[in-house]
Structure 1
Amino acid sequence: MDFQLTEEQRMIADSATQLGERFGLEYWRDLDARKAFPHECWRAICEAGLCGVALPSEYGGSELGVFEMALIIERLAATGAGSTVGQLFMVNPIFGGVSISRFGSPEMKKELLPGLMSGDINFCMALTEPDAGTNTLEIRSFARPDGDGWRLNGRKIWITAVDTAHKMLVVARTKKVEDSASRSDGLSMFMIDVARDGLTHTPIEKVGTNTLASSSIFFDDVRIEPHELVGTLHGGWKELLDVLNTERIVTTAGLIGTTELALKLAVDYGNERKVFGDRAISSYQGLQFPLAQCHAEMEAARLVNYKAASNFDSGLPYGSQANAAKLLAAQVAARATERAMQTMGGMGYSREYHVERLWRDCRLFRFAPISEEMVLNYIAMYDLGMPRSY
């Protein structure tokens, strides 16, 4: 097993680092305060070819892999963006890129993938519902047949970046549960315009991840055209899983970069800060050990995530690794940002030293895009062979 990056992968990571340093901590603090989408940074990411690293070369991508995407996100997060940058890749090259490149029609690929990679078209995905949550098979949004297309009615909640998206990947039932062969039968995916009659959305006030809004969405007889179907009518469940599990990989990469950044900020502060005499506070084991523990856990999460991404790129099963890596990364990011704040004392609670933003943002990923408890359920059932507990 070779743990060394190729020369091309090192160049990609270096490019992401250099780009991330152009949009450093001050840039992201300003956006957080204004609750503003990072348009300039995302455009630069696209212009550098980093958005399309895993997408088909036929449409302007590099046709490398999710492994390279994870490298990019790690470096962008570690140079200032924090965990929110993972969401940028989640909504665009994952929700938009993976769904279209794997399951879209040739016409859809030609129409949308070049715009995605240039940064001219932004995406979002409408999946979660108030009465379903993690239990996707219980979603109630329903697209009934209407001529050669459909009419969609329903509601979604906690949908990321709707206000800046042009296209929305919608998951809905197209067959009633009582008419379906199983609970997973009758789900379909559609790629529709966000600006469409009958589609409305309202923002949700929240603690962090302010650079990408979260919204509630309402569908009132929204017309869906036949060419907007993504994948198989009534058979979208297994196709959706490919989108969701790659979502785990990019989320984890953002959390690993966040941990790295939080540790750096803590160490830099601790090396400079002197309280009792001439010794830097970083020389005390009470501060060293928690940070060192976080570093070790971060490296473990990184390797499991690399395995998940490598397996995906090789066409091998990767769900177990993707879920385990996300669990580890979310937990260590939470501890690392907390310990960084503790190292800084009162200054860690100020906006000036940036850690409070990293702390607020990464807290979301203890329960999103999948909660710790559901990851542990997955591990117990599929990795350990234990009975279903819920």
Structure 2
Amino acid sequence: MTTVESMAPEATLDDVLQAAKAVTSRFSDDYYREVDERDAFPEEFAKAAEKAGLHSVMIPEEYGGWGLGVTEASVITEEINRSGGAGAAIHAAMFAMGIVVGHGSDELKKKWLPQITSGDVRLTTFALTEPNAGTETSKLATTARRDGDDWVFNGQKVFISRAAYTDLMVIMARTSPSPDPAKPGLGISCFLVDIRDVDPARLSMKKIPLIFNHHTYELFIDDLRVPGDALIGEEGMGFKYLFDGLNAERIVIAAECIGDGRWFVDRAVKYANERVLFGKPIGANQGIQHPIAKGYAHLEAADAMRWKAAAAYDAKAENAGALANMAKFLAAEASWELAEACMQTHGGFGLAKEYDIERKFRDNRVFQVAPVSPNMVLNYLSHKVLGMPKSY
């Protein structure tokens, strides 16, 4: 198996893909179907991916990572979704650690990054969203105040994926009011918090039942005391750091959408060629062919934008944010179009769990909502890129 120990910065994309396939090939539809039916976390897959170092692709070599970029990370998440799984099991460790790598102190990086790459601590999650501060991040109400050498947190978070299966959590909290009404994000800070052995009275979790199996939680934080060195970068500048992570997140999730789209195409084409009605394969009918072909064309266009966005992000280009948003928007649209085409192609069998279509259909629907809604992408492009008046 290709592992982190054998990977180097000059590794080709195919090297990265083969490393991912060495893991994904061990987990079949039966595995994911059984995990879904139990509403369980895909822990065996996550551990295998972690052991192979897939989660540490963006962590520098000096800390035991691969030293590669979001381009390579997107290859991994695409393969996970194309194989029938969900990149959500490990993807936060990629983009959340990007924030630590880009903005954390040397001491913070030396303390935690080697433990993450070695697997001594479990996959990291990202605690941002709140009940009254979803898309409007600057309104978040969770606070962190100084008390001696420590920080004390109070607040509530919601839709925090994998929270019960992580040791480290990147938490966004307000440490001071914004000094500038025109810049409401100022005063928000970013922290890397060890939640092992935390008193449940200080940090409690409640699982949120959802239509897909991503293990998402609501968090209740009450006087949670955290060491002072948990702060990432400069106090009050977390909102700026956040967008580095979110742009990477949009790209790896665009790749997950691409992976889903290819999964749907493969299943739809196979079934259309095999299913015979009225004396011929149903794939001979344009009513079946055209929706799949149209979705495939849109998927290929979205994939081109994914590569463009990833290259811009890794090059630290000024337009990386716009490209990352467009990549996520186009990939989510194309994969959902193919999810519907695949479901329609299978007809009643698409609803049967043994075909796995309904499971992937449910999993893919989240990308129409999160991590950024299509409307907010269009708002961003309208205002930030095209120069029209702000609508939100």
* TM-score bucket of the superposed structures, by smaller chain: over 0.9
C-alpha distance in 1 between matches for 2:182 and 2:346: 57
Q: Which residue of 2 aligns with 1:346?
A: 348
Other structure's SS at 2:190 match = strand
CA deviations over 1:280-330 (Å, ceiling 9, x no partner): 111111001000011111111111111111111112131111101111111
Q: Which residue of 2 aligns with 1:8?
A: 12
C-alpha distance in 2 between matches for 1:350 and 1:199: 39
Q: Which residue of 1 aligns with 2:331?
A: 329
2:249 corresponds to which of 247, 255, 274: 247
TM-score by length of 2: 0.92
Other structure's SS at 1:168 match = strand
Once the 2 structures are TM-superposed, how far is the Cα of residue 181 of structure 1 from its aligned partner?
Answer: 7.9
Once the 2 structures are TM-superposed, how far is the Cα of residue 38 of structure 1 from its aligned partner?
Answer: 2.0
Unmatched 5+ residue regions in structure 2?
A: 1-9
Q: Which residue of 1 aligns with 2:6?
A: none
Other structure's SS at 1:185 match = coil
Contact 2:177 2:186 in 1 (8 A): no
CA deviations over 1:240-287 (Å, ceiling 9, x no partner): 11011111111111111001001111111111110111x111111100
CA deviations over 1:210-233 (Å, ceiling 9, x no partner): 1x3111111111112111111110
Unmatched 5+ residue regions in structure 1?
A: 1-5
Structure 1 moving runs of 4+ over 4 Å? 177-181
Quickly say closer, same or farther: Cα 1:336–1:223, change in 2 above 3 A: same
Number of residue-to-residue matches in the alignment: 378
TM-score by length of 1: 0.93
Q: Does 1:264 align with 2:269?
A: no
Instruction: Tell me which amino acid in the other structure corresponds to 2:46.
Output: W
Contact 1:186 1:233 in 2 (8 A): yes
C-alpha distance in 2 between matches for 1:123 and 1:265: 33
C-alpha distance in 2 between matches for 1:238 and 1:342: 43
C-alpha distance in 1 between matches for 2:378 and 2:182: 28
Other structure's SS at 1:54 match = coil
Contact 2:171 2:193 in 1 (8 A): yes
Once the 2 structures are TM-superposed, how far is the Cα of residue 46 of structure 1 from its aligned partner?
Answer: 2.7
C-alpha distance in 2 between matches for 1:14 and 1:123: 24
Contact 2:261 2:335 in 1 (8 A): yes
C-alpha distance in 2 between matches for 1:180 and 1:119: 43
Paired residues for 1:1-390 under 5 Å: 8-81=12-85, 84-85=86-87, 87-95=88-96, 97-121=97-121, 122-177=123-178, 182-195=183-196, 196-197=198-199, 198-208=202-212, 210=213, 212-277=214-279, 279-317=280-318, 318-390=320-392
Moved more, 101-110 or 346-355: 101-110
Once the 2 structures are TM-superposed, how far is the Cα of residue 106 of structure 1 from its aligned partner?
Answer: 2.1
CA deviations over 1:8-36 (Å, ceiling 9, x no partner): 21222133234322212221111111222
- Give the RMSD, CA atoms, in angstroms: 1.7
Contact 2:93 2:125 in 1 (8 A): yes
Quickly say closer, same or farther: Cα 1:361–1:94, change in 2 above 3 A: same
